[in-house]
């Protein structure tokens, strides 16, 4: 997917609370109120792609014998500020804090994402245990 040049930001400025595998709630736009799983995080542009949400229809031209033409549906990126992380513990959309907590299988103290509502650690589904 092409990312517009003006949207590019230095990597060190990119900080998102939402990661691949998280469940999020969409708070604005045509998919407002819907929940979905983040299939891809794009921290360079502060956007996330959510499975099955913000679908755009894309018209594809047939290309020789290898590709059929037609309309495909593609999930487009959503501004991360238009989503809220859903806590893995209490199931509520929440803001995210960062605290040093023992997390993971080895219970090592790391900076973890913490739910502002139930104050439990939000599970990071991409972490290799």
Q: For binding to Zn ion (CB under 5 A), which residues are involved?
A: 87, 89-90, 115, 117-118
Coil, strand, or helix at residue 11? Answer: helix
Minimum distance between the CB of residue 89 and Zn ion, rounded to whole angstroms?
A: 4
DSSP 121: B
Nearer to Zn ion (CB atom), residue 89 or residue 123:
89
Nearer to Zn ion (CB atom), residue 47 or residue 124:
124
Minimum distance between the CB of residue 117 and Zn ion, rounded to whole angstroms?
A: 5
Nearer to Zn ion (CB atom), residue 52 or residue 91:
91
Query: What gap in Å lies between CA 29 and CA 18, rounded to an integer?
Result: 19
Strand-pair partners of 21 = none
25, two tokens = 């709630």
Nearer to Zn ion (CB atom), residue 45 or residue 96:
96
Cβ contact 38:16 at 8 Å: no
Query: Which residues fall within 8 angstroms of residue 115, CB to CB, at 6 or more apart?
Result: 87, 89, 90, 92, 94, 96, 97, 121, 122
Minimum distance between the CB of residue 60 and Zn ion, rounded to whole angstroms?
A: 42
Minimum distance between the CB of residue 113 and Zn ion, rounded to whole angstroms?
A: 10
């Amino acid at each position: 997917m092409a990312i517009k040049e003006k949207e590019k930001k230095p990597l060190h400025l990119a900080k998102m609370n939402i990661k691949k595998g998280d469940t999020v709630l969409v708070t604005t736009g045509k998919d407002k109120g819907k929940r979905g799983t983040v299939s891809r995080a794009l921290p360079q542009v502060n956007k996330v792609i959510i499975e099955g949400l913000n679908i755009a229809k894309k018209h594809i031209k047939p290309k020789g014998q290898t590709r059929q033409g037609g309309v495909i549906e593609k999930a487009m990126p959503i501004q991360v500020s238009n989503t809220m992380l859903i806590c893995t513990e209490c199931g509520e959309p929440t803001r995210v804090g960062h605290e040093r907590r023992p997390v993971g299988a080895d219970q090592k103290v790391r900076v973890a994402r913490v739910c502002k509502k139930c104050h439990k650690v939000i599970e990071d589904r991409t972490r290799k245990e």
